[in-house]
Structure 1
Amino acid sequence: MFVLSPLIAALALATATTAAPPTPSNPSNTTTPATTNTSAPTYCVPRAVTPAEQSEIFAAFVQEFYVVRNVANAFKLYIVADYIQHNPYEPPNGAAGSVEYLTPIFSNLSIGVEVLHQGFGGGIGWVHSRIDNIYPYPRPVAIADIFEFTDSCVKEHWDVTQELPADATNPLALF
Structure 2
Amino acid sequence: MRVLTWFTALLATPLVVLAVPQRGGGKAAPTPCKRQSPPPSEAETKARFDAFVEVFVGKQKSIYKSFEYIAADYINHNPMAKNGSASAWGILSPIWDNTKHTYIRSTFKSPMSWVNYKSGGMGEIVDRFRWDGGCIAEHWDQGERYPSS
Same fold (TM over 0.5): yes
- 5+ long unaligned stretches in structure 1: 1-38, 163-175
Which whole-Å CA distance do the structure 1 matches of 2:89 and 2:61 have between them?
A: 11
Partner of 2:63: 71
Extract unaligned runs of 5+ from structure 2. Answer: 1-27, 145-149
Q: 2:72 is paired with a residue of what secondary structure?
A: strand
Query: Does residue 97 of the first structure (1) align with residue 87 of the second (2)?
Result: yes
For residue 116 of structure 1, the aligned residue among 89, 104, 110 is 104
1:149 equivalenced with 2:131 (yes/no): yes
After TM superposition, the runs of 4+ consecutive aligned structure 1 residues lying more than 6 A away are: none
- Cα distance in 1 for residues equivalent to 2:29 and 2:113: 28
**Displacement of 1:72:** 2.0
Counterpart for residue 31 of structure 2:
42
Aligned length: 114
CA distance in 1, matches of 2:88, 2:119: 18
Which structure's residues are more often helix, by fraction?
2
TM-score, with length taken from structure 1: 0.60
> What secondary structure, in the 3-state scheme, does the structure 1 residue paired with 2:93 have?
helix
Distance 1:92 1:157 in 2: 11
* CA distance 1:58–1:105, shift in 2 (3 Å): same
> 1:144, 1:107 → 2: CA distance?
18
TM-score, length of structure 2 as denominator length: 0.69
Counterpart-to-counterpart distance in 1, 2:111 and 2:74: 15
* 3-state secondary structure, aligned to 2:138: strand
Deviation at 1:107, TM superposition (A): 2.2
Could you say what the CA RMSD is over the residues aligned between the two structures, in angstroms? 2.0
Identity over the aligned pairs, expressed in percent? Answer: 34
Structure whose CA Rg is larger: 2
